Amino acid sequence: MSMSEGSSSKGEGEFYLMSCIKDVPTLRGDNYTEWRKKVDFGFVCAEVDWVLETPQPTKPVDPVRDDKDDDEAWDKNKRDHAPMEIAYTLKNKKWQTANKKCMAFIKNTIENAIMGSIAECASIREYLETIKSQFTGSSKTYATQLLKQLVTEKYTGGGHGIRKHILRMSNLAAKLKPRDDDLELKPALLVHLVMASLPSQFDNFVVNYNMNPEKWDIEMTIAMCVQEEDRLKAQNGGSINYVKDNKKRTFTQSNKGSPSKPYAKGSMPHHQKF
């Protein structure tokens, strides 16, 4: 947004910033990405986001009278310079006002213990870059934690159901992208992680998926997993306990059903054809 586009009145800009500040989480160090997203949203609503991309206006060089200039030439130089000086004064005042608002907004969303470790900067752009560099390490650590959670995640049943389990994994994966585009998980990889998180009762289901050339997106994965869980529940008398005494439990004849046999290629039941 250009400076000319940041045309909201002073009162409106302050109102929008004050309205948005309550929605910005206090920056603690482990929540930098969410904090920055909310901060940027506040700046956009207040129409002061242009100051992040616009450097402070540079004062035009004052005219200097040359020894060869007569009075008429000198007066002309001053007249030519006057509009540039006025334009600079107006732009600089506007820039300083927006910069001051943004700086105050930022400082009111940072934990006091962290504030003292952030060096003062003349512009909000420099200040945000300083904050970003300080929390890069924390961001990488958090990304590593997210990846570890995804890889070690296991579905153990319970009252939440398999749909919520898969949605939770999908949300964990979605948190990686804002940190680093290189960390974005492709849908196919996320589906494989979901399959790896399923208990042993789903082993045949997973084998059948791996043998089939069709690839699923996360919505199809949810639908098919819910369908398979319903089938397993029906086979087991309406309920399943995936974990007992922290050990995986397998189906036996006494479980009102026997383990599913692997389906021969092309002979899967209709409800499990992928």
Rounded Cα–Cα distance for residues 156 and 129 (Å): 43
Range of weakest confidence among 113-117, 186-190, 268-272: 268-272
Q: How far is CA 212 from CA 119, 123, 194, 207, 273, in A?
A: 57, 57, 16, 9, 9
- Please report the pLDDT score of residue 262 as a whole number: 44
Q: Copy the structure tokens of residue 244.
A: 């007992």
Mapping DSSP to helix (H, G, I), strand (E, B) and coil, where does residue 27 land? strand
Region 230-252: mean pLDDT is 67
Residue 1 has pLDDT above 60, yes or no: no
Residue 4: CA count within 13 A, CB half-sphere: 1
**What pairs with residue 248 in β-bridges?**
243
Residue 140 in contact with residue 132, Cβ under 8 Å?
no
Q: What is the pLDDT of residues 130-173, one digit of tens each?
A: 988 877 666 677 778 788 889 999 998 866 689 999 998 998 88
Region 202-220: mean pLDDT is 93
As a whole-number percent, the residues of the chain with pLDDT over 70 amount to 76
Give the confidence band of 229 by pLDDT, cuts at 50, 70, 90: very high
The backbone torsions φ and ψ at residue 243, rounded to the nearest 5 degrees and listed phi first, read -130, 135
